[in-house]
């Protein structure tokens, strides 16, 4: 019952924030003073839903503890965390546009902005509640793909307005979201219930995409197109890591 309640509450909160963004054209960008409060409400739908439901069930302290747990996270998971940033460095020579110097201040701003308008607002819900429940009932890979589809649907309203996301071709974004869901789901599955790797991998996905603009990929579609293949390979590697560590394929029909 929790997943249904979680999804209902998540979409209700996020759509309420989105409705305000639609109502106020000046709020279409999350980089404006008017827009940021509504974007926070919209983006934080999953985590707010998780916090509310966990508080009602008396599990809020446990949810928050899992968000900072490090002891159960294997070393290989940290490799998945840094992989998007290493991928950006490896692909930088293939950028068609001129690069812009990336300063420490810029990186700090991008990290802070993306942490608030991304993983902190989502991962307590997507992985902390939904993946946790679904992994117990279906294979982890099936759960990850299902969450990926839900995650994509959750993002779709952004293509109905002039938002930063709308600059990315929807099919490309959809493929990336599904691959991200598999990689994050794999990291979560081998991390003993810790949500921290999911938060950090989500962050590095976003930071890499943002910094790609300064690395010479001025058109977001250039980065999303060129990185699609490497992310697919990373998703396959992540599946292999889960199988080697747990013996699980993540697919019920394989009965493994």
Which residues of the chain are under the pLDDT cut of 50? 256
In a domain, 137, yes or no: yes
What pLDDT is stored for residue 255 in this prediction?
55
What pLDDT is stored for residue 254 in this prediction?
63
In a domain, 170, yes or no: yes
Number of H helices, E strands in the chain: 13, 0
**Cα–Cα nearest to 216, from 126, 96, 134, 115:** 96
What pLDDT is stored for residue 1 in this prediction?
52
What pLDDT is stored for residue 27 in this prediction?
85
In a domain, 5, yes or no: no
What pLDDT is stored for residue 253 in this prediction?
63
In a domain, 28, yes or no: no
In a domain, 46, yes or no: no
In a domain, 230, yes or no: yes
In a domain, 6, yes or no: no
What pLDDT is stored for residue 252 in this prediction?
76
Q: How many domains does the chain have?
A: 1
Looking up tokens 């985590």 gives: 47
In a domain, 127, yes or no: yes
pTM of the predicted model as reported, rounded to 2 decimal places: 0.94
Domain region containing 89: 72-254
């Amino acid at each position: 019952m929790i997943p249904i309640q979680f999804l209902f509450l998540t979409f209700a909160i996020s759509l309420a924030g989105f409705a305000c963004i639609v109502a106020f054209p000046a709020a279409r960008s999350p980089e404006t003073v008017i827009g940021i409060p509504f974007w926070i409400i919209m983006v934080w739908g999953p985590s707010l839903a998780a916090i509310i439901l966990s508080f009602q069930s008396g599990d809020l302290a446990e949810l928050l503890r899992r968000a900072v747990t490090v002891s159960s996270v294997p070393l290989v998971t940290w490799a998945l965390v840094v992989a998007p940033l290493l991928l950006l460095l490896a692909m930088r020579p293939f950028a068609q546009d001129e690069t812009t110097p990336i300063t420490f201040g810029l990186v700090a701003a991008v990290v802070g902005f993306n942490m608030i308008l991304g993983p902190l607002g989502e991962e307590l819900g997507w992985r902390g509640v939904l993946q946790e429940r679904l992994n117990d009932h279906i294979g982890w890979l099936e759960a990850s793909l299902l969450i990926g589809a839900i995650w994509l649907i959750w993002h779709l309203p952004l293509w109905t307005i002039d938002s930063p996301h709308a600059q990315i071709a929807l099919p490309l974004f959809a493929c990336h979201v599904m691959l991200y869901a598999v990689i994050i789901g794999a990291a979560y599955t081998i991390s003993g219930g810790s949500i921290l790797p999911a938060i950090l991998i989500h962050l590095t996905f976003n930071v890499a995409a943002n910094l790609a603009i300064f690395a010479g990929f001025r058109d977001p579609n250039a980065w999303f197109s060129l990185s699609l293949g490497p992310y697919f390979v990373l998703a396959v590697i992540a599946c292999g890591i889960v199988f080697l560590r747990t013996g699980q394929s993540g697919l019920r029909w394989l009965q493994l």
